[in-house]
Structure formats: C-alpha cells, structure tokens
Homo-oligomer: A and B are copies of this chain.
Amino acid sequence: MTDEATVFVPGHITGFFTISEDDDPTKAGSQGAGLALSDGVTVTVRAADERAVYLDDTSIEVESVDRVLDALNADVLVDAESDLPLGAGFGVSGALALGAAIATNRVLDRGLSENELITIAHGAEVQAGTGLGDVVAQAKGGIPIRLEPGGPQHNMLDAVPSRARVEYLHYDELSTESVLDERGEQLNSAGEKALSLLVQEPTLSSFIYASRGFAREAELLTPRVATVIDDVSDAGGQASMAMLGETVFALGSGLSDAGYEPESCSTYPAGAVFQ
C-alpha cells in the first residue's frame, strides 16, 4: 500500500458518435472517433477516512466518481487538477472517473487489471449519464476509433495512425443527457455515416471532415460554433465541434489562422499514465 498515487488522464474530444443503449452498462456505449489530448486531468488519490472529491481546489460531486469509489469500496480523497473545463465536451468527467479508478486501485491495493478498472469507470459514466465513449478512448490515447461500443470486454477499438497539434475555443456548456434524449435517431444515422467515411480512409483529414458532416446532419451546431467553423474553413483550415459542448476544435493552427485566440495542445499518444 502506498499513501497516494497520481495519474494523468488525457482529455478527449469526440468528433462524432452513435448511441448504443443496453441494460448492461459494460455493453452500453457508443461508436465514434475523437482526439485524446495532452491537456487533461491529473488525479491524485490519498488514503483517507472519509470520501471527498476536489477539482481545482473546489469540493465537487461527480456521480461517475462516486460510482467508481462505490465499486472499489473506497473512502479516499480525490484531488484533481484540470487543464480543461467540465461539461464542455472534453471528457473531464470520464477522466475523473478513470483517474480515480486507477489511482484508488494502487493506493488501496485492490489488485484489479487495467481492463477491470476501465470497465468500472466506463460503467460509472454510462450509469451517471455523463459519457458513453470517453473513458475507453482516454484509456487508449491517440486518435481512437470506437468501432464497437462498450467496455473493454465488448468493444473493438482502432485508431488513426497519426499525431497533431490541436487548437480549441470553448463558449458554453451543453448537457449531454438532454441532447441524447432529443436527438437519438438522428445522431445514430449521422454517426454511422461518419464512422463509415473514417473507416474507409482513417486519416486526420477524414476524421475532421466526417466530424463536420456529423455535426451538421445531427443539427448540433450552434450559430456561433457554425460561424467559427466557417471562418476556419475560409482561412484554409479544418475545424469541427466537440461533442458535446459549445466548443470548436481545429487541427494545426486552424483557429489562430482565422484570427481567433484559442487554447492549444496536441494529441496525446498514451492512455492514463502514472505520474
């Protein structure tokens, strides 16, 4: 047993996705593709007598983290620092859940495997209604393609073999749960089309082209997101919308070239990493 453990979990921008419901949360999830980011969440877990969760020094309640700690029968202190805003399409809740699972397993010597910990975090996110595919993508890193939904025992992952600088601009939150409720069918048809395009040519250009088509067809673009994406295109770049937040992301210097002042990072080649 160690007193504390710290894990970095990459952020994750989803470009497009489908929704697969299932009573078994390890089978439920989504297909789709996204970018694991070098901006992410650093999660430190310390042995403690009472459970507490902090994000950037503020006490918070995150249902997926609570579910992870329940599954691990763990009363620990979870102290997280994030480069990214919560609820903005960067997979912060998924990162908290996965980071808490991996670090708690270490601190309390739970003896679980990586897949078991990913399964717990994935199931917690699904049951909390805060994410369907972030956790498995964040555990893989890179530019993951989720060919089949679910946790590690059921899904099938591939990836775009590439690496890129990424810029992003965040305006506002969008509620994952309410969008999923309203747009289910439309999303799935647009998501399947996007996945089929990317599988035919698994490159970064295809990824962002397919993502833009998905956002348009699923009618998820807000007016200001649509304007920014058009501005990036006019400046010769490639951008789309992060699912689900009022957030635009671009490859390379797409947003800067269009005159915006974005945050920047890059794709992160690894999954969750002990610090």
Interface residues of A (CB under 8 A from B): 102, 105-106, 111-115, 117, 141-142, 145, 152, 158-163, 199, 201-203, 269-271, 273-274
Contacts and interface: CB of A to CB of B under 8 A. Distances in A.
Contacts of A159: 113-115
Contacts of A117: 161
A142 B139 CA distance: 12
A91 to B, nearest CB: 18
Contact of A114 (B111, B114, B161, B271): B161
7 contacts: A106-B162, A111-B202, A113-B158, A113-B161, A113-B202, A163-B273, A270-B270
Contacts of A271: 142, 269-270
Contacts of A274: 162-163, 269
A158 B269 contact: no
A240 to B, nearest CB: 20
A68 to B, nearest CB: 14
A129 to B, nearest CB: 26
A116 to B, nearest CB: 8
